[in-house]
Amino acid sequence: MISRTDRSLVANWWWTVDRWFLAAFLLLMGLGVVLSFAASPAVAERIGLDSFHFVTRQVIFMVPALAVLIGVSFLEPRHVRRLALVMLVGSLVLMVATLFIGMEVKGSRRWIYLFGISVQPSEYLKPAFVVICAWLFAEHARQPEIPGNLFAMILLGLVVALLVAQPDLGQTMLVLGTWGGMFFIAGMPWLWIAVLGALGAAGAAAAYSLFPHVADRIDRFVTGEGDTYQVDMSLEAMTRGGWLGQGPGEGSVKRILPDSHTDFVFAVAGEEFGILMCLIILALFAFIVLRGLALAKRESDDFTRYALSGLVILFGLQSIINMAVNVRMMPAKGMTLPFISYGGSSLVAMAISMGIVLALARRRPEKRRPMSFSSVSGRAATAG
């Protein structure tokens, strides 16, 4: 037990950290390991690997992810900004490098090898981008003569350009949605809402016209014709699972679902543990988003409010997109389910993101404004 009178760094962290957030993140990470046992052996055997290849790697990835989650949660807001700036610069450099020397998978260049490890720079770019935009919005709110909103727009344009160049339109949509939510919270004028809405519609039309794979996915989603194998199997898995599931290890559809350990792990949860487990997972994500927005609303500091809001919006949108694809409510996209899907870059980057949420959500005493001479003399006169 840690005493409240203990003034050590760890004790101070324990009594100020949001333990509801911490418990929710740890529970999601635990579910990620459990569902990795359920979903990945069939995939590993299908491609000639050891049955527990992906399970072992998922557990290995969990170690640095957990360390990062806890370590980052110790930071003060000013340290969070510095970390985000370093991550942003590093991620932008790596994303440019990925376009030239990255691995090409299914026509996209999103991964690059660093010291023998495959890294997806865009995963680390997202939380850094959110924090830096929050800082820019906050600086503009504090001093309107600082063109923080303009700089945030320029940064958005740079990030979107790099994502489209890969191409990765799923992440592009996620970044645009998160940025728009933050800008709205920061007091976006109605004129800007109309302008950005029109630009978003034009961008969607351009993506449909310029990228054949985007048009193909949208057409398949709308008409239900063409190669809809993975989505069809995902729905079949959910249907067979029913309310209570077929039991751990008893799923059969997962054995023929190609991406059951990554993009479609939610379907495996439905098949083996039932719709009730899917609702529990959904409730966990909703709890994190709603609690984050509620805490952000109570914050007096603009930077903390915008950053908290942006990070939980990013977290929520990504989880919604993944689950919606699994139940055929959106066109298929390569989007992982936070903390649950297999993937080292996604897991560690999400741990950094939620570590920042823990850091910003910690309880801190409000700084009192210095009392002016006029208020002191006024109180003295009143007392007299």
Per-residue pLDDT of the chain (384 residues; tens, 9 = 90+): 666 666 788 888 888 999 999 999 999 999 999 999 888 888 888 888 888 889 999 999 999 999 999 999 999 999 999 999 999 999 999 999 999 988 877 777 888 988 778 889 999 999 999 999 999 999 999 998 989 999 999 999 999 999 998 988 889 999 999 999 999 998 887 787 788 788 878 888 887 787 777 787 787 777 767 677 888 888 899 999 889 889 888 888 888 888 888 889 999 999 999 999 999 999 999 999 999 999 999 988 999 999 999 999 999 999 999 999 998 888 877 788 999 999 888 999 999 999 999 999 998 765 434 444 344 344 444 444
**Structure tokens, 291:** 């609690």
